[in-house]
Amino acid sequence: MEIRQISQGDGRRRRVQRLKRLIVLLVLIWMILPVGLSVILFFRVGALSRQIDETEGYLQQIVERISQQELKAAQQTASRPGRGENIIMVPADGEGGQESLAHGTEEQEAAHKVYLTFDDGPSKYTEDILDILDAYDVKATFFVLGKESDYSIRMLQEIAKRGHTIGMHSYSHKYAEVYGSVEDFSADFYQIYSYILDNTGIQSVYYRFPGGSSNTISDIDMQVFADFLAEQEVEFYDWNVSSGDGGRVLLDVDTLVRNSTESISRHGTSIILMHDAASRPTTVEALPQIIENILAMEDTVILPITEDTTPVHHIHKKESS
C-alpha cells in the first residue's frame, strides 16, 4: 500500500516534470523561431539589396553606353572626313595668300583651281545660272538663305539635283539677328542647316558668313562664330576674288568679267564671290563670259567646293601665346 502510494507520487511528479519540460520547450521554440526567422530575413534582405545595387550599376552602364552610342551617332551625322588643313589667309578685300597643292584626281592637281560661289539664293535667276553652268558642264557652289516659298525650295532642290555644292549663308541674312549673340547665331545656323537638310537631305558642312568673316557689322568678335562653326565641324569660306556684284552700284558685264578673272592666274585657289540675287541681273549676263575666260586659261579647272577645298579665310585665329 505504501509502495503503491510512493509509486503513485513518483508518477505524478514525473508527469509534472514532463509537462514542465514541454512548457520550457514550447517557450524556447516560441522565442527562437522569430529570432531565427529574423536572422534569415536579415540575410535575405542583404542579398536582395546587393542584387539591386548590382542591377542598378548594370543599368547605369547600359544607359551610359546607349547615350555614348547616341552621341557618337550624332557626331557622325554632324562630322565629315577631315578637310584640308591648309587655309588661305587673305585680307578682306584681298588677293593672294599662300596655298598648298591638294592631291587627288587630275582636276585636283591643276595648278589653278577656281570655285564659282553664288550667295543669297535661291532667286529668280537661279534657274538661269543653273542652265548656264550646265551648258559649260561646270559645277559651282551656292551659299543659300532660308527662303520658304515653293519656288525657292524647288530651286534649292534643283541646285542639289544638278550636282552643285550647297552651302549655308545664314537663314535670315539679317545681321542683327545672326550676329546678336552666340545663341542667336546658333539658332539661325540650325534653322538654315535644317532647311537644307529637310528639303534636300543634304547635311551641309559649308558656311559663308553674311558679309564675310571680315564684316564690320558684328559687334561680337567673328572668331567666336568661327569657333562655333568649327565645333559643328563646318568649314567657312570667304573669298579671295570678288566679282564686285555685291555693291550698291550695278556693275556692267565687262567689269564683272574683269573682276572675276584677272587675278586667277596668280592664285592656286580662287574662290570667286558672286550673287544669285534678283537685284543682280548683270551677274547672269556676265557668267558665260566669266566661265569661258576661265576655261581658256592654262592648267585651270572650275570645281565645286568640297571637303578637299582649301578654305579662304579673312580672319584667323589669334595665337594664344
User: Which residues sit at the interface with Zn ion, rule CB under 5 A?
Assistant: 119-120, 210
Q: Smaller CB distance to Zn ion: residue 110 or 167?
A: 167
Cβ 290 to Zn ion, closest distance in Å? 19
C-beta nearest to Zn ion: residue: 119
Task: Please say whether the beta carbons of 156 and 196 come within 8 A.
Answer: yes
Cβ 270 to Zn ion, closest distance in Å? 19
Q: Smaller CB distance to Zn ion: residue 210 or 304?
A: 210
Q: Smaller CB distance to Zn ion: residue 264 or 273?
A: 273
Q: What one-character DSSP code corresponds to residue 265? A: G
Cβ 131 to Zn ion, closest distance in Å? 22
- Polymer length of the chain: 321
Cβ 211 to Zn ion, closest distance in Å? 7
Q: Smaller CB distance to Zn ion: residue 146 or 210?
A: 210
Q: Quick check: helix, strand or coil at residue 301? A: strand
Cβ 206 to Zn ion, closest distance in Å? 14
Q: Smaller CB distance to Zn ion: residue 246 or 304?
A: 246
Alpha helices, H only, the chain: 2-78, 126-135, 150-161, 175-178, 182-200, 222-231, 253-261, 281-295
Cβ 173 to Zn ion, closest distance in Å? 6
Burial of 147 (0-12, 13-18, 19+ CB in 10 A): middle
Cα separations (Å) of 207 from 63, 217, 223, 235, 321? 35, 18, 14, 6, 28
CA angle 190, 215, 169 (to 5 degrees): 30
Q: Smaller CB distance to Zn ion: residue 246 or 311?
A: 246
Burial of 10 (0-12, 13-18, 19+ CB in 10 A): exposed
Cβ 57 to Zn ion, closest distance in Å? 54
CA angle 242, 244, 248 (to 5 degrees): 145
Name the grid cell of 240: 579671295
Q: Smaller CB distance to Zn ion: residue 119 or 245?
A: 119
Q: Smaller CB distance to Zn ion: residue 110 or 287?
A: 287
Task: Please say whether the beta carbons of 204 and 168 come within 8 A.
Answer: yes
* Orientation of helix 126-135 relative to helix 281-295, angle to 10°: 20
Distance between CA atoms of residues 228 and 235, nearest Å: 10
Cβ 156 to Zn ion, closest distance in Å? 16
Residue 181, phi-psi category: left (phi > 0), alpha (psi -120 to 50), beta (remainder): beta
Distance between CA atoms of residues 25 and 277, nearest Å: 104
Cβ 76 to Zn ion, closest distance in Å? 31
Q: Smaller CB distance to Zn ion: residue 225 or 300?
A: 225
